[in-house]
Every structure is written in structure tokens, then in C-alpha cells.
Amino acid sequence: MVETIEQKAPDLRELKQQLQIAKDQRMDLVVKLGELAHSLVRDKGMDVSRLVDLSNAILHKDVLIYQNQNAITKLTANQHQCVNCQQPVEDSAKFCGNCGTLNANFKDPNANQVICNSCEQLIDEQHSFCPCCGVKQEGQ
């Protein structure tokens, strides 16, 4: 008999902690990328493989940040409150009637989803740029 390990979904506090850690790690990578780019320009070095590696690591952090933000939005959406002002919002309302923030529960029934060209996250088809990594989508 195989034992299964029950994994509990992270709570809002844990997701916010994970989000902050990912943001801090991303910032460290951006600083390292900038320092490396500066030294390559200064020293006229042309090996960009380290730049590509750092850029890929930043993209990975962008995906983690995007996923954590979506999970936080979904958790707070289940509470049927505005994510900005915490006022009650009906699921059928596209925007909060109190502050105008987009309702996290609202889902456009006509929106198709596609895979991003760069980070492979599921995004709404009408987006010209990926909300996760910012890359322009083909055909947009």
C-alpha cells in the first residue's frame, strides 16, 4: 500500500511571504544582471551567456511572482470582497462599486486563453503583452 502525503493549500499569509521572497530574489538577480552588463560594457567583454543565464533566472522569478499573485487574488476572491478596499463585491460585477478595482471573481465568459510565447503561463488571448513576463505576444 502506498501512502499519500496530504498537501494543504497555502494560506494567504504564506502566499504573501512567498511572494515577497520571490520579489526580493528577483531584485537581487536584476542587480547582478546590471552589474555583469556594466562590467562587460566596461571591459568590452562579449560573452553574454552569463547574461542569458541571469535573464532566465529573472524570468523564473517573474513566473513565481505571477503565480503567487494569482493565488492570492483567488484566495481573496473567494471571500467575495474587493482585493483593494475589502468591500463586498458581487461576482457578476466587473468592477468594485466602492473603489473601481477590477473584481477578481469576474471572468469574461468570452475570453479564450492561450499559452505565453515566453514564460508558458496561461493568459487571456486578447492580451498583447503577457501579464506575467511582459513579452509581446505573436500576432498582436
Whole-angstrom distance, CA of residue 9 vs CA of residue 79: 16
Whole-angstrom distance, CA of residue 101 vs CA of residue 132: 19
Whether residues 78 and 122 fall in one domain: no
What pLDDT sits at residue 98?
A: 92
Domain that holds residue 126: 108-140
Strand bridging mode 122-124 / 113-115 = antiparallel
Per-residue three-class SS string for 73-131:
HHHHHCCCECCCCCCECCCCCCECCCCCCECCCCCCCCCCEEECCCCCCEEECCCCECC
Predicted confidence (pLDDT) per residue in 97-136, tens digit: 999 988 877 777 777 889 998 999 988 888 899 999 999 9
Length of the chain: 140
pLDDT at 5 over 70: no
Q: Classify residue 55: in a domain, yes or no.
A: yes
Whether residues 89 and 133 fall in one domain: no
